[in-house]
Amino acid sequence: GESVGLHLPTLSVQEGDNSIINCAYSNSASDYFIWYKQESGKGPQFIIDIRSNMDKRQGQRVTVLLNKTVKHLSLQIAATQPGDSAVYFCAEMANTGFQKLVFGTGTRLLVSP
């Protein structure tokens, strides 16, 4: 379904560590996946995306892994910085003819200096 959790899981890391944020998605027909970062008082900000015909994609300091067999998505952030502290959401989209992003349960990332 499209329900999301009421309580945000939290990942606390030290500056310089690598962070891994996980997400389970619901729709096996989803073709496109995106990770968003949301800072307090702001809208979601695009980080990286991946299509269903790929299993890995790398950006600047970020890597997204897609495992369609178990419907799992992960975001890896290398050398995490205090500015990375935010809530991270994965979102999925199926090819329905319109853009309907279905967001997963967010994860709060706290980076300590």
Partner 1 sequence: ETGVTQSPTHLIKTRGQQVTLRCSSQSGHNTVSWYQQALGQGPQFIFQYYREEENGRGNFPPRFSGLQFPNYSSELNVNALELDDSALYLCASSLGPGLGTEAFFGQGTRLTVV
What are the φ/ψ torsions at residue 46 (nearest 5 degrees)? -60, 135
Which residues have CB under 8 Å from 100's CB, separation 6+?
93, 94
In angstroms, rounded to a whole number, what is the distance separating the alpha carbons of residues 63 and 76?
5
Contact pick of 13, 62, 78, 102 for partner 1 (by CB under 8 A) = 102
- The structure tokens 């500015």 sit at 83
Tokens for 48? 């990286």
Binding flag, residue 42, partner 1 (CB under 8 A): yes
Instruction: Select 77 or 93, whichever has its Cβ closest to partner 1.
Output: 93
Instruction: Decide whether 86 or 89 has the Cβ nearer to partner 1.
Output: 89
Of 14-22, 53-61, 68-76, 86-94, the window that binds partner 1 (rule: CB under 8 A) is 86-94
Give the residues lining the site for partner 1 (CB under 8 A): 2, 4-8, 31-32, 36, 41-46, 49, 51, 89, 91, 93, 95-106
